[in-house]
Structure 1
Amino acid sequence: MTVGFVAFHYPRPEHFDDFVARVHKVAAVLRSVPGCLSVGSWVTTDGDDDAVVSTGQWESAEAFAASFAAVAAAEVDVAFDDREHRQRQIFELAAR
């Protein structure tokens, strides 16, 4: 079964560009794992509470787990801290 995720991140304005760069590093690691079908990043531009939105899709739950294990092993920066002004919203998805 195909699985995926959508994550909304809310970096503080002064950290926005750095956060986008962090998301791109994580995406490169996720894509490197067999079974990853796609990973993307987007930004909202409404100006009120701009967000960085990450998306991904995998062939299976096992490939999804392997991608995130690769992120942990790669020691890329995924920390939630004061660079973000709001809690992340992360939704895991399953195809039907």
Structure 2
Amino acid sequence: MTVGMIAFHYPKPAHFEEFVARVHRVRDVFLATPGCLSAEVWTTPDDEAVVSTVTWESDAAFAASFAVVNESAGDDIVFDERESRPREITRLRSR
């Protein structure tokens, strides 16, 4: 069973492009981990949100991938004052 994640990030307008770059760096780390099947970065048409989607081959790959991201992505994954509201993150499972 594959697993996935969709995350909506809400950067303040002055930090939008910087935030897009941050999410791309995290995407690159995810893609380099074993078991990560895909990782993409999207934005809403109104530039209100940066949306990331990631899929993994298993729960074990998901956990291992996050361990690597937490270690190597550093400040790029930390919620801070550049965001206007909390992130919305949903985990998914294929059926």
Q: Normalised by the size of structure 2, how large is the TM-score?
A: 0.94
The residue identity in structure 1 corresponding to 2:92 is: L
Task: Tell me, in whole angstroms, the C-alpha distance in 1 between the residues paired with 2:90 and 2:39.
Answer: 14
Query: Which string of whole-angstrom CA distances, capped at 9 and with x for unpartnered residues, describes residues 39-68 of structure 1?
Result: 000000135xx1000001000000011111
2:3 is the counterpart of 1:3: yes
Aligned residues: 94
Matched with 1:53 is 51
Task: Tell me, in whole angstroms, the C-alpha distance in 1 between the residues paired with 2:35 and 2:26.
Answer: 16
Query: Which string of whole-angstrom CA distances, capped at 9 and with x for unpartnered residues, describes residues 5-37 of structure 1?
Result: 000000000000000000011001001111110
| Identical-residue share of aligned pairs (%) | 57
What RMSD, in angstroms, separates the aligned Cα atoms of the two structures? Answer: 1.0
| Structure 1 segment 16-95 matched on structure 2, within 5 A | 16-46=16-46, 50-76=48-74, 77-95=76-94
The structural deviation recorded for 1:72 is: 1.3
* Unaligned stretches of 5+ residues in structure 1: none
Task: Tell me, in whole angstroms, the C-alpha distance in 1 between the residues paired with 2:70 and 2:88.
Answer: 19
Task: Tell me, in whole angstroms, the C-alpha distance in 2 between the residues paired with 1:45 and 1:94.
Answer: 27
- The runs of at least 4 aligned residues of structure 1 exceeding 6 Å deviation read none
The structural deviation recorded for 1:75 is: 3.8
* Unaligned stretches of 5+ residues in structure 2: none
